[in-house]
Structure 1
Amino acid sequence: MTSRQRLTLAVLLGAQFMVAVDFSILTVALPVIGSDLGFALADLQWISTAFALASAGFMLMFSRIGDRIGRHRLFFAGMALLTVGSLLGGLAQDPAILLVARVAQGLATAAVMPAALALLTTSFAEGPLRTKALSFNGALLSLGFAAGALLGGVLADLLSWRWNFLVNVPVGIAILICAPLVITPSRGEQAKRLDLPGALTVTIGLVALVYGLTGATANGWGSLETLLSLALAVVMFGAFVLVELRAPDPIAPLRVLSRTTVKWGNLAGLITLSMESGLSFLLTIYMQQVLGLSVLTTGLAFTLLGLGVFLGGMIAPRVVGSLGPRAALLLGLVVQGVATGALVLIGDEVGTGMAVLLVGSALGGVGHVWAVVSYTLTATSALPDTEQGLATALTSMTQQIGFTLGVPILSAVAVAWMGRSGDVDSATTILGGIRVAIVVDAAVVLLGAWLISILLRPKHFEQPGTGSPER
């Protein structure tokens, strides 16, 4: 890499890591925030839900706006909004202001993530350099999500929960100062107007989907609110497809959405991200409710998972370069699935339970980051720069939905098993439910690997018009 490319990579990865941390940094501190600002216990979920709704719901729309006005401009605007929203959250004195700050952070994430990823893919040509850049990106995204809970617990314990917001401010200012000096302007195809009907239908559909998924944790999958939200999502997505078939300049051309690498690459990403985020939730409950560990100790236990993710990301370029993106993707899913399955050996003894957890989660983190890097490469490969905005928006949206989807699914599995076993508050029953959910987690990942191996073939990686496979 040239010096300019290194600086560009540092700026873009710094922004991606920042937004990944924001997704989970408040998790541990939610009870403290609720007590300090006067949130009702049932309303605490809105601190996370407000962020998830805005970030996932508006990502596709913002990415297409970035294609037209310039991805660099969207990136700068998103970073400015993230910095201001973080300052507002750190100074908030009542629940309403805090929720406004979280919506601002979510909207900023919807702008920054696809813009940063599109700028990254257009700054590095397909080949070893792009593979290396995306490997670092995948490692830092996964590490950021894992490190968010640790950093949030440490800041809330040693300083104040407000620093979970304020820590973003100096980082955001530094990125805003450096970014204009190193980022090359980039945009997709120019259009006379934005596909407003397509933008509205897909945004409403995504908001309804995320609302239904997050609400399922509190209200249950069979509640009327959850079912209506998911039904609205299905209707809006159907309307979106009809709109795109007729639009002269669609927000998401179906030729890109129907591409095999885009479809199955994003499915693989959804599987690996949702199951890993759900596993982090299960292990948190296990350490606190079964082993009786403190919040700070629980956060520190994820350090080894973060180390596995980081090391996996460092060697991911070699793995992808040797095997190709398809084989590396399958290997990552298999390693993640097998390591997750081994966690069923956890027990109620702190020594053996933590030994199994630390080793299994670290190995699973290695496989997980290989899968994340490979799915990103798969879903954005062999596409012209004019379509990188849409492709990267889809991968970023997959990340957000994956982070949201895993917890309600695996928690529903665990709770369903515990409900059959009598005393749902006993450590033995909780452990049993967690084990069942872990088995489901591993089975989904391994089944996904088998499905991807059938549906995503080496021929699908051929460059259009060349017949040569991409490596």
Structure 2
Amino acid sequence: MPVTETSRPAGRRPVGPADASAPSAGTPMPPRAKLILLLLCAAQFIIALDFSILNVALPVLGGDLGMGQADLQWAVTAFALPSGGFLLLSGRIADLFGRRRLFLIGLALFTAASVLAALAWSPAAFLAGRALQGLGAAIIVPTGMSLLTTTFTEGPQRERALGISGTVLSLGFTIGMVLGGVLTDALGWRSTMGLLSVAGVAVLAVAPLVLPESRHPERPRLDLPGAVTVTGGLLALIYALSTAAQQGFGRPDVLVTLGAGGVLLAAFVRVESRAAQPLVSLPMLRRRNVAWGNLAGLTTFAMMSTVVFLLTLYLQEVLGLSAFRTGLLFGAQGVVSALAGLVAPKVIGRFGARRTLLAGLLVQAGCTASLLGLGAGTAGWPALIGVSCASVGHLWAIVAYGVTATSGVPDAEQGLATGLVTSSQQVGITLGIPLLSAVASAHTAALRAAGGGSAEALLGGIKLGLGLDAALVAVVALLVAAGLRTARAPRRG
């Protein structure tokens, strides 16, 4: 997201938390900085929960609100469209009017929308709440990351903060699966939205007391053509992939919006190459560590979120596990993820960010491939072991790509670099599930049409999705290895 610090005059520092409490490299993190990091991670965690907490509750939700199977995908799409589409625009608006101010607005909107979704009396009311949640998330994520990077200076402190933030985001997605299952079985699906409401109120009560204001010192101009093209392009692309996941790629609206998304994103690249103050700095993407690091980040988030989604279908629809038992299995994975996130900075210190990144991607790919051995008659433990091992590689890749993509970048351009890191996370989570679930759904439908049983056809689609997932991660790992050969991130020891 566009946190543009490139035009700061020599000797001037950005207005914000960095003025008061930015810890320098090699010094302990001050208590106030720890408090800011804790609050921003709490907000990130809530948003990550919302990406997944409804996954295991969708069948129950559909029955309660009278939504058919074909309509349930909109519970996910209604959130994904604004959360991915308005990400870059929200970041630029925050630069203009203040990151703290917009962060609080986004958090208030998200909390109110969660209340609406929890109390929804009809499908339309529920989907409206989900869409507003997505818009709030699109505001919270870029402003929160901007506040984080203006609190911590480049070096070990920022690397640690970015690593913690990325780990929390991944853990939130996984723990959302756990809480979704437990709450749905115990209290009903509405309690999942109620939990988000309560958590939002708690963070909103503390945030004004903790966060100082932060904005770009020279109030950059809004790149309106860039904002329009990228927002429209992302909205069209997300809609097309989400709809194709349930209805296939043959529908006219899918083909039209997919083409429109491609045209708009191509126009965005052309606009950014000529803009005086672009939303995304194309010269920044010419830095090898920035470009390849962000490709790795986008891939690891997109593909790991897809693994969790496909395994949820496998555990519930193929093995017939309840939402509660499915949640418990993913809870065990969450513990492994937490441990991997704690170990990752030490691995980077020992082997360097580049090697850790490549190892993480390859472990994630290999363990995802091991899930291809799952069958309709097996227990849930093999799935748990496979996804937990994949999570270790995923968490290593998360922390390492954040370090890689921001290392060696001048201080004046750190805002742009960290903005791209956050965009990679959010776009990856938003696009991964629709893309591969569309492929899995199409294959499942083909197997059923050929006379296959329902469970066997679903398992075949899931395995195809997992196979493509593992292959994509492995290919990206090889590309990143070649691309970073001459752009190694510095080793921290």
TM-score normalized with structure 1 length: 0.91
Output aligned runs, 1:306-345, within 5 Å: 306-345=334-373
Shift of 1:54: 0.3
Give the distance between the partners of 1:424 and 1:408, measured in 2 at CA: 24
Alignment partner for residue 260 of structure 1, among 288, 305, 309? 288
Alignment partner for residue 358 of structure 1, among 378, 384, 403? 384
More moved, 384-393 vs 144-153: 384-393
Identify the residue that residue 327 of structure 2 maps to in structure 1.
299
More moved, 451-460 vs 441-450: 451-460
Distance 1:169 1:191, change over 3 A: same
Structure 2 residue 57 is the aligned partner of structure 1 residue 54: no
Identify the residue that residue 424 of structure 2 maps to in structure 1.
398
Amino acid at match of 1:333: L
Distance 1:241 1:155, change over 3 A: same
Shift of 1:196: 1.2
Identify the residue that residue 435 of structure 1 maps to in structure 2.
463
Q: How many equivalent pairs are there?
A: 462
Identify the residue that residue 72 of structure 1 maps to in structure 2.
100
Give the distance between the partners of 2:55 and 2:334, measured in 1 at CA: 17
Show CA shifts across 1:187-215 (max 9, x none): 23524531111111111011111111111
Distance 1:251 1:426, change over 3 A: closer
Question: Residue 470 of structure 2: SS of its match in structure 1?
Answer: helix
Identify the residue that residue 444 of structure 1 maps to in structure 2.
472
Distance 1:63 1:470, change over 3 A: farther
Identify the residue that residue 127 of structure 1 maps to in structure 2.
155
Identify the residue that residue 263 of structure 2 maps to in structure 1.
235
Identify the residue that residue 425 of structure 1 maps to in structure 2.
453
Show CA shifts across 1:204-241 (max 9, x none): 01111111111110221243222211211111112212
More moved, 281-290 vs 312-321: 281-290
Give the distance between the partners of 1:80 and 1:387, measured in 2 at CA: 30
More moved, 393-402 vs 74-83: 393-402
Shift of 1:453: 0.4
Distance 1:388 1:49, change over 3 A: farther
Distance 1:400 1:298, change over 3 A: same
Amino acid at match of 1:276: M
Alignment partner for residue 399 of structure 2, among 361, 366, 373? 373
Give the distance between the partners of 1:445 and 1:180, measured in 2 at CA: 40
Identify the residue that residue 407 of structure 1 maps to in structure 2.
433
Show CA shifts across 1:51-99 (max 9, x none): 1010000000111111222222221111111111112222222222222
Distance 1:420 1:320, change over 3 A: same
Distance 1:286 1:91, change over 3 A: closer
Identify the residue that residue 376 of structure 2 maps to in structure 1.
348
Question: Residue 293 of structure 1: SS of its match in structure 2?
Answer: coil
Shift of 1:380: 3.3
Give the distance between the partners of 1:230 and 1:392, measured in 2 at CA: 28
Shift of 1:388: 4.5
Seq. identity, %: 49
Amino acid at match of 2:291: K
Output aligned runs, 1:209-248, within 5 Å: 209-248=237-276
Identify the residue that residue 464 of structure 1 maps to in structure 2.
none
Identify the residue that residue 85 of structure 1 maps to in structure 2.
113
Alignment check: 8 A CA contact 2:356 2:397 kept: yes
Output aligned runs, 1:130-169, within 5 Å: 130-169=158-197
Give the distance between the partners of 1:34 and 1:150, measured in 2 at CA: 19
Give the distance between the partners of 1:21 and 1:267, measured in 2 at CA: 24
Amino acid at match of 1:47: A
Amino acid at match of 2:425: Q
Amino acid at match of 1:231: G
Shift of 1:387: 4.4
Give the distance between the partners of 2:414 and 2:208, measured in 1 at CA: 21
Alignment check: 8 A CA contact 1:188 1:385 kept: no
Question: Residue 348 of structure 1: SS of its match in structure 2?
Answer: coil
Question: Residue 278 of structure 2: SS of its match in structure 1?
Answer: coil
Question: Residue 350 of structure 1: SS of its match in structure 2?
Answer: coil
Identify the residue that residue 284 of structure 1 maps to in structure 2.
312
Identify the residue that residue 48 of structure 2 maps to in structure 1.
20
Question: Residue 459 of structure 1: SS of its match in structure 2?
Answer: coil
Show CA shifts across 1:22-45 (max 9, x none): 111112222332332333432222
Give the distance between the partners of 1:109 and 1:363, measured in 2 at CA: 29
Amino acid at match of 1:105: Q
Question: Residue 99 of structure 1: SS of its match in structure 2?
Answer: helix
Give the distance between the partners of 1:423 and 1:284, measured in 2 at CA: 24
